[in-house]
Amino acid sequence: MQGRLLLDIVVNQGTAILKLLSSKDEPLLVRRDSLLVLNLGLDIINGVGALNLQRDC
The alpha-helical segments, DSSP class H, found in the chain are 2-56
Residue 48 pLDDT level (bands cut at 50, 70, 90): low
pLDDT given at position 40: 76
2: pLDDT strictly greater than 70? no
Decide if pLDDT at 9 tops 60.
no
Residue 47 has pLDDT above 60, yes or no: yes
Q: Considering the chain, what percentage of its residues have pLDDT values greater than 70?
A: 14
| Residue among 22, 26, 23, 24 at smallest CA distance from 34 | 26
Distance, CA of 45 to CA of 7 (rounded, Å): 58
